[in-house]
């Protein structure tokens, strides 16, 4: 299930401290290798165009903790420099306009996240802000004298200074909001995030916005007088997803002015170099919800009618930015199992034929930044390497700048990713992917696992996928697909499962399995299935519809949809797609695989985080109880204190071990 526009895929893209490796012959991956891979993110080019800063996250299995540090590399290529070494994570590195300092966020000196400054010429970072709540985002003013910050309201029930959590009885949680819980945040009260302006020299701060709204994504106008930001300022923000772009003068008490007014989800604002326009992500029709297409649009900063640049592409875009000369708009383009860096004319926009794909091919571009003279840095992954930072050459060629995982992967045998087309029951063509074991003998049928992505509106890509590689290293052919409901294939393909889960998408993923069997790869007598989040939900449909699979793994899934209303954080989405459960009883019952659970014959491993508010644990508990009552072999694994994404390093290792053990038990009985 996905909150907002972002899908929680349940993918295990995790990172960790790099151990020492001997020059042995390459080997296959092992579950403990989750602590050997590092996660690179957030490339930021310096104002002089000579450096790129980014973060590198690592994990430590012994301490059972993760840590992220700020690094930088010469944009022309060369040795990377580690800039922070604390035991707490640093994130959101942002260059000062003169290039002398990097500001970043960290909770290294307490429970709250604050802004720190680091002189890139050397020395330790120092704490700049001292709010009594956490800072979640920052942006430098063009003159480098101020910061725009997003800061949370102070929790009145938080322990006072010097007081420990266990020194007083917690107050009752009083809730009167419609959206009263959210995964990773817990129960929601009227504690909101607002826009502040902070003077670097004097440390004077002013609160620019207030009210029962959450504000985000601050960006300064080029002249430093205004700030654009994103907010839902309707009468009841919990009742809809109507976010808009607002502009406000950078001073206390200034009136905020909405520059977009559509009833949909608008966000990710970025100014044109002359300050006259703002490019942003425009959501699709409200009625499409998360099945709609997000496009790049431009609106006058003074207000007026927007013009849509990419609606004709029928593909999702994200992170739009003007080129330094203002003539083009760059963005990430999701398309058919890939994500590319693309650009279009800022004046005329694009149809499919006029899009310039700056970086294309079989890969996933997860982020990018533009330099002052058109320099481009991207965060790019392919099937054989996790995301790394590269500079983009004049012809779209990539020059690798970060090498966080090179040494480790040099000693690892990976399974190569192959694309193939599958034909669903009604003739629809489906993109499917096959990852064979690294040493799979040619012509031999293999035990095969169908893994299903989350969402439902998301897509598998040709980028790095640790889960596929880990299962392939265990001797399995891994079959995956982008069934209907997946993004990257247009609005109609995605919308095809609206209020019809477990039907067309079930047929589509089954066609991928049949395709692998027809290729002579998958052994039809040794098939497994599984997934996390919506991947677990579709797994629940699979095991109620067919007995072809000898083993299933249902991760963070739901089967009885009635049980979710009011216990997960999707009240708006449930009501929009299925209506109210006490009014549309027949539809809710029809779509809930719970009411077909008598048909399950497949041994099923069930896993969930104890504190998951996205797809709450009660779903997994109910499914486990039903299968246990029916005499189906099952186990329930609960990860204490974990949300929808399992973050603790030891639990990530444990999850892979359990995946392999369950599939081994039922698909390799003679092992």
Lowest mean pLDDT among 92-101, 275-284, 436-445, 495-504: 436-445
443: its two tokens: 């012509």
- DSSP string of 419-469, one letter each residue: EEEEE-TTS-EEEEEEE--TTPPTT--EEEEEEE-SSSS----SS--HHHH
Number of H helices, E strands in the chain: 9, 38
Domain ranges for the chain? 409-667
Which class is domain 409-667? alpha beta
d(CA 602, CA 667) in angstroms, rounded, equals: 12
Alpha helices in 111-213 (DSSP H): none
| 410 has a pLDDT exceeding 70 | yes
27: its two tokens: 């080997």
Instruction: For residue 669, name the pLDDT band (cuts at 50, 70, 90).
Output: confident
What's the alpha-carbon Rg for the chain, to the nearest Å?
Answer: 25
| 95 has a pLDDT exceeding 90 | yes
Q: Strands 244-249 and 257-258, how do they pair?
A: antiparallel
Instruction: For residue 147, name the pLDDT band (cuts at 50, 70, 90).
Output: very high
- In this prediction, residues 334-350 reach a mean pLDDT of 95
Check residue 239 and give its pLDDT: 93
| 23 has a pLDDT exceeding 90 | no
- In this prediction, residues 435-444 reach a mean pLDDT of 91
d(CA 392, CA 77) in angstroms, rounded, equals: 11
Instruction: For residue 25, name the pLDDT band (cuts at 50, 70, 90).
Output: confident
Are residues 19 and 404 in contact, defined by beta-carbon separation less than 8 angstroms? no
pTM for this one? 0.94
| 671 has a pLDDT exceeding 90 | no
User: Which residues are CB-neighbours of 399 under 8 A, at least 6 positions away?
Assistant: 77, 390, 391, 392, 393
- In this prediction, residues 571-579 reach a mean pLDDT of 96
What is each CA distance from 158 to 112, 191, 311, 322, 394, in whole angstroms? 11, 12, 46, 42, 53
| 19 has a pLDDT exceeding 60 | no
Are residues 516 and 492 in contact, defined by beta-carbon separation less than 8 angstroms? no
Q: What are the pLDDT digits (tens) for 507-543?
A: 999 999 999 999 999 999 999 999 999 999 999 999 9
User: Which residues are CB-neighbours of 160 under 8 A, at least 6 positions away?
Assistant: none
Check residue 4 and give its pLDDT: 37
- In this prediction, residues 545-559 reach a mean pLDDT of 98
Q: Residue 564, exposed/middle/buried by CB under 10 A (0-12, 13-18, 19+)? A: buried
Are residues 234 and 159 in contact, defined by beta-carbon separation less than 8 angstroms? no
Lowest mean pLDDT among 114-128, 325-339, 449-463, 602-616: 114-128
Check residue 6 and give its pLDDT: 31
Beta strands in 200-285 (DSSP E): 205-207, 215-220, 226-231, 244-249, 257-258, 266-271, 277-282
Alpha helices in 498-533 (DSSP H): 504-518
When the pLDDT of each residue in the chain is averaged and rounded to a whole number, the result is 93
| Closest residue by Cα to residue 39 from 10, 9, 14 | 14
| Closest residue by Cα to residue 591 from 607, 579, 605, 608 | 579
Instruction: For residue 10, name the pLDDT band (cuts at 50, 70, 90).
Output: very low
Q: What are the pLDDT digits (tens) for 246-260?
A: 999 999 989 999 999
d(CA 657, CA 167) in angstroms, rounded, equals: 40
| 86 has a pLDDT exceeding 60 | yes
Check residue 162 and give its pLDDT: 62
300: its two tokens: 């006058």
Q: What are the pLDDT digits (tens) for 603-642?
A: 999 999 999 999 999 999 999 999 999 999 999 999 999 9
Are residues 104 and 118 in contact, defined by beta-carbon separation less than 8 angstroms? yes
**Backbone conformation region of residue 412, classed left if phi is above 0, alpha if psi is from -120 to 50, else beta:** beta
Are residues 39 and 408 in contact, defined by beta-carbon separation less than 8 angstroms? no
Are residues 330 and 341 in contact, defined by beta-carbon separation less than 8 angstroms? yes
- The neighbour count for residue 155, using CB atoms within 10 Å, is 11
Check residue 5 and give its pLDDT: 34
| 503 has a pLDDT exceeding 90 | yes
Lowest mean pLDDT among 21-25, 334-338, 389-393, 564-568: 21-25
């Amino acid at each position: 299930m996905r909150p907002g526009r972002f899908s929680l895929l349940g993918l295990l893209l995790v990172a960790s401290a790099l151990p020492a490796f001997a020059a042995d012959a390459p080997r296959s991956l092992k579950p403990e290798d989750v602590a050997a891979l590092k996660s690179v993110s957030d490339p930021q080019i310096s104002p002089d165009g000579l450096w790129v800063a980014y973060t590198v996250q690592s994990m430590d299995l012994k301490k059972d903790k993760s840590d992220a540090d700020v690094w930088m590399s010469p944009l022309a290529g060369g040795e990377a420099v580690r800039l922070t070494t604390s035991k707490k994570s640093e994130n959101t590195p942002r260059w000062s306009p003169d290039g002398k300092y990097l500001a970043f966020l960290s909770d290294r000196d307490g429970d709250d996240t604050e802004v720190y400054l680091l002189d890139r010429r050397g020395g330790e970072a120092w704490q700049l802000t001292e709010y009594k709540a956490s800072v979640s985002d920052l942006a430098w003013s063009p003159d480098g004298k101020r910061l725009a910050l997003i800061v949370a309201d102070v929790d009145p029930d938080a322990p006072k200074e010097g007081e420990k959590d266990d020194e007083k009885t917690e107050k009752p949680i009083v809730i009167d909001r419609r959206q009263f819980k959210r995964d990773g945040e817990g129960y929601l009260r009227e504690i909101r995030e607002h826009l502040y302006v902070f003077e670097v020299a004097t440390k004077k701060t002013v609160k620019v916005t207030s009210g029962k709204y959450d504000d985000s994504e601050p960006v300064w106008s080029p002249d430093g007088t205004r700030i654009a930001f994103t907010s839902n300022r309707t009468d009841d923000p919990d009742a809809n997803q109507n976010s808009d772009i607002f502009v406000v003068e950078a001073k206390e008490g200034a009136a905020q002015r909405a520059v977009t007014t559509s009833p949909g989800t608008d966000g990710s604002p970025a100014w044109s170099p002359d300050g006259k326009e703002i490019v942003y992500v425009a959501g699709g029709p409200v009625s499409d919800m998360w099945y709609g297409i997000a496009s790049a649009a431009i609106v006058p900063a003074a207000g007026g009618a927007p013009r849509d640049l990419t609606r004709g592409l029928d593909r999702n875009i994200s992170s739009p930015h003007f080129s330094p000369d203002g003539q083009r708009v760059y963005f990430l383009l999701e398309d058919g199992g890939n994500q590319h860096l693309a650009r279009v004319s800022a004046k005329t926009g694009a149809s499919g034929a006029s899009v310039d794909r700056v970086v294309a091919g079989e890969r996933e571009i997860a982020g990018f930044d533009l330099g002052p003279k058109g320099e481009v840095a991207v965060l790019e992954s392919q099937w054989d390497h996790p995301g790394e930072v590269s500079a983009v050459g004049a012809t779209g060629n990539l020059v690798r700048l970060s090498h966080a995982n090179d040494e480790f992967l040099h000693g690892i045998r990976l399974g190569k990713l192959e694309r193939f087309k599958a034909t669903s029951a009604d003739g629809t063509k489906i993109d499917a992917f096959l990852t064979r074991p690294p040493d799979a003998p040619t012509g031999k049928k293999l035990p095969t696992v169908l893994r299903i992505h989350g969402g439902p509106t998301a897509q598998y890509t040709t980028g790095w996928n640790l889960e596929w590689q880990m299962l392939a290293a265990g001797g399995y052919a891994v079959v995956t697909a982008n069934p209907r409901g997946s993004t990257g294939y247009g609005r109609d393909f995605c919308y095809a499962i609206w209020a019809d889960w477990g039907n067309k998408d079930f047929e589509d993923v089954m066609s991928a399995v049949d395709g692998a069997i027809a290729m002579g790869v998958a052994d039809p007598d040794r098939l497994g299935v599984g997934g996390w989040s919506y991947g677990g939900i579709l797994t629940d449909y699979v095991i109620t519809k067919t007995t072809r699979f000898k083993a299933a793994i249902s991760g963070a899934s739901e089967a009885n949809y009635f049980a979710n209303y009011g216990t997960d954080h999707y009240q708006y989405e449930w009501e929009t797609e299925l209506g109210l459960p006490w009014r549309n009883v027949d539809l809710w019952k029809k779509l809930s695989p719970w009411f077909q659970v008598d048909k399950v014959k497949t041994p099923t491993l069930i896993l969930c985080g104890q504190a998951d508010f996205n797809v709450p644990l009660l779903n997994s508990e109910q499914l486990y109880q039903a299968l246990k009552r029916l005499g189906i072999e099952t186990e329930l694994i609960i990860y204490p204190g974990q949300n929808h994404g399992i973050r603790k390093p030891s639990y990530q290792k444990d999850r892979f071990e359990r995946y392999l053990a369950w599939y081994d038990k039922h698909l390799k009985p003679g092992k």
